[in-house]
Chains A and B, each alone.
Chain A
């Protein structure tokens, strides 16, 4: 016969409380996500049709889609990710393989972490001062992608460093023991061994910038027409959503919801694709 002692009973109660608290908070977090997803889906799905992908934004009350904004977002994000991955992966590699333990390394890592949590609107203002008012002289797609890149770089850098540090030291030693140089070992062995992690770094960076609005308002501005010119203002989904959602027109608001759904769906799709690639590689 088992009889619970007072102590065991107390432990059991505390255990129940703890598990319940964990479960409840998980439900709250996921519930919020589900609500957002649900409202996005119900309000956005009505705006998803052929016109959305084939026509540029309309005047209120006429037929149209988001082709200009979608194109603009793709260009902005792709260009930003090219900058961010090149700079971030190289910087992360330097931190992990070369200077990470030096004084400069600690400073770089600290500043990178600061940048990681910098308000995106500040980044937008910075690029506005740098490119919009000075170098280029007006709003441009280039300035927008630079602003987005600055937001993504710290994430790519940090993740790259973390991932590379996970690679066993013996792997580097084995490469060096064959007589290869450090740089060669990093490129041919360490990066390859960390390939899926580096992909994750890129995905995290992309996820961060895909919905950014504030830095684009000062840089790429937005464009009601279709444009692919890098030195001209360019439309983007977040800025168009911002503009349309604040408008008084029902059809614009419907397009804003559809655009929001589009962003969420593409981030989801890219993440799933990334995971599938990672899974496929590791098995």
Chain B
């Protein structure tokens, strides 16, 4: 973390090749993030194309997870953590509540033009779902794990709920493995199954964007492959942003890849070009394994 100290801050070369603006569903612009007084994101830009997979890579502590955690404002659980900047979801700025605009004005001056937006956190999180590094099945049945989120928004029971649960489990490619034990505890599943259960739980409330924070880092290779298959199946229906330590995984899965370094988005572009012909030396060094 000492690398993030203010003395080490310098301006880095950047290369951002964004997808066409019309295709963006979510976009972070000039985003700063603070853990208390310590700044960990510096003017980060992240364009996310609709119904595609966007991967974030970079060395440990570079701010990938922090960036992900600002997108659904889950960081707000912890007092002292603050984001300043713009995060635009379908034209609405999710950070533009009173305090957010005040921070933005303090940083960028009075000329800032932001439409105030009282986004309800529950609504935001229903639209932007999240899957964590370690599987987080709730201590309840497989069925109730899926139904939990749905019940937060709709009064549904019986056959209609059965249908939603089945659809979510099918989309997460878990249905065939659990259809005979829906009433059993979700804690009894294997790690890989638990992680796909969490994906299914997120999908059940029909989010526009699904954030995945190193979802395969606790899984064995076979479970990882299954999870990747699941994510590939979802391309075209859901927008996915995935943080990963595994460069191959990014190359296999993502249509767009962003490389972060010391709290900055250094390079962002279509995955193929990103890996075959990185624009910056630092990116090249990282993807060829020369550092990181």
A180 at the interface (CB under 8 A from B): yes
Q: Answer whether residue B34 sits at the interface, using C-beta atoms and an 8 A cutoff.
A: no
How far does the Cβ of A114 sit from chain B's closest Cβ, in whole Å?
27
Q: Specify which of B123, B139, B149 lies most central, judged by the most chain A CB atoms within 10 Å of its CB.
A: B139
Looking at the assembled complex, report how far the CB atom of B215 sits from the nearest CB atom of chain A, in whole angstroms: 12
User: Is there an interface contact between A172 and B77, defined as CB atoms closer than 8 Å?
Assistant: yes
Chain B residues 102-160 with CB under 8 Å of chain A are 121-126, 129-130, 132-134, 136, 138-140, 148-149, 152-153
> Which residues of A are found within 8 Å of B130, using beta-carbon distances?
173-174, 177
CA distance A177 to B126 in the complex (A): 8
Q: How large is the interface on B (under 10, 10 to 19, 20 to 34, 35 or more residues)?
A: 20 to 34
A171 contacts partner chain B, Cβ-Cβ < 8 Å: yes
What is the minimal beta-carbon distance from A59 to any residue of chain B, in angstroms?
55
Bound form: Cα–Cα A47–B202 in Å: 63
**How far in angstroms is the closest Cβ of chain A from B274?**
28
Q: Considering the complex, which residues of chain A in the window 118-139 have a beta carbon less than 8 Å from any beta carbon of chain B?
A: none
B195-220 interface with A by 8 A CB criterion: 198, 201-202, 205
Point out the residues of chain B lying under 8 angstroms from A181, CB to CB: 122
Q: CB-nearest residue of chain B relative to A182?
A: B77
Report if A178-B201 is in contact (Cβ < 8 Å); known contacts: A172-B77, A189-B139, A193-B139: yes
Complex Cα gap A84–B93 (Å): 47
Whether a CB of chain B sits under 8 angstroms from the CB of A1 is: no
Contact A178 B139 (CB under 8 A): no
Q: How many residues of A sit at the interface, in one of the four size bands?
A: 20 to 34
Closest chain-A Cβ to B122's Cβ sits at a distance in Å of 4
A63 in the interface (beta carbon within 8 A)? no
Contacts of A179 in B (CB 8 A): 121-126, 149, 152-153, 205
Residues of B within 8 A of A184 (CB): 152
Q: Is the CB of B134 within 8 A of A178?
A: no
Say if the beta carbon of B280 comes within 8 Å of chain A: no
For residue A180, give the distance in angstroms from its CB to the closest CB of chain B. 6
CB-defined contacts of A174 to chain B, threshold 8 Å: 130, 132, 136, 138, 198
Known contacts: A178-B126, A179-B153. The answer to whether A171 contacts B77 by CB under 8 A is no
- Asked if A175 is at the interface of the complex by the 8 Å CB criterion, the answer is yes
Residues of B within 8 A of A195 (CB): 139
CB distance from A165 to the nearest CB of B (A): 15
The B45-82 residues at the A interface (CB cut-off 8 A) are: 72, 74, 77, 79
**Closest B residue by C-beta to A180:** B152
Contact of A171 among B121, B123, B138 (CB under 8 A): B138
CB closest chain-A residue, reference B205: A178
Q: Does A192 contact B (CB under 8 A)?
A: yes
Interface residues of A in 180-218 (CB under 8 A from B): 180-182, 184, 188-189, 192-193, 195
- CB-defined contacts of A280 to chain B, threshold 8 Å: none
Contact pattern, A 28-55, Cβ under 8 Å of B = 1, otherwise 0: 0000000000000000000000000000
Q: Is the interface of A mostly helix, strand, loop or mixed?
A: helix
CB neighbours (8 Å) of A171 from chain B are 136, 138
Q: Name the residue of chain B whose CB is nearest to the CB of A194.
A: B139
How distant is the Cα of A168 from the Cα of B136 in the complex, in angstroms? Answer: 9
Chain A nearest CB from B126 CB (Å) reads: 5
A173, B205: Cβ atoms under 8 Å? no
Output the least CB separation between A187 and chain B (Å).
Answer: 12
**Given A170-B132, A170-B133, A188-B148, also A176-B125 (CB < 8 A):** yes
Please, how many angstroms separate the alpha-carbon atoms of A173 and B153 in the complex? 18
Residue of A nearest to B78 (CB): A169
Most buried by A among B124, B148, B201, B202: B148
Q: Which residues of A contact B125 (CB under 8 A)?
A: 176-179
B72 contact from A168, A175, A177, Cβ within 8 A: A177
Give the distance in Å from the alpha carbon of A63 to the alpha carbon of B136 in the complex: 62
* B74:A178 contact, CB within 8 angstroms: no
Most buried by A among B125, B136, B140: B136
Report B-chain residues with C-beta under 8 Å of the C-beta of A173.
74, 77, 130, 132, 136
When chains A and B are docked, how far (Å) is the Cα of A281 from the Cα of B138?
Answer: 15
Which of B122, B136, B148 makes the CB contact (< 8 A) with A170? B136
Given the complex of chains A and B, what is the CA–CA distance between A101 and B129 in angstroms?
28
Given A171-B136, A172-B77, A189-B138, residue A177 in contact with residue B129 (CB < 8 A): yes
CB–CB B77/A175 < 8 A: no
A-side contacts of B153, CB under 8 Å = 179
Contact A178 B77 (CB under 8 A): no
Kindly state the separation between the CA atoms of A193 and B129 in the bound complex, as whole angstroms.
Answer: 22
Q: What 4 pairs across the A-B complex have the smallest Cβ distances?
A: A174-B136, A179-B122, A177-B130, A179-B125
Query: Could you list 26 A-B pairs, sorted by A, with CB under 8 Å?
Result: A101-B79, A168-B136, A170-B132, A170-B133, A171-B138, A174-B130, A174-B136, A174-B138, A175-B148, A176-B77, A177-B125, A177-B129, A177-B130, A178-B126, A178-B152, A178-B202, A179-B125, A179-B149, A180-B122, A184-B152, A189-B138, A189-B139, A192-B138, A192-B139, A193-B138, A193-B139
Beyond A170-B134, A175-B138, A179-B124, list 13 extra A-B contacts (CB 8 Å): A101-B79, A170-B133, A171-B136, A173-B74, A174-B132, A177-B74, A177-B125, A177-B130, A178-B129, A178-B148, A178-B152, A179-B126, A182-B77
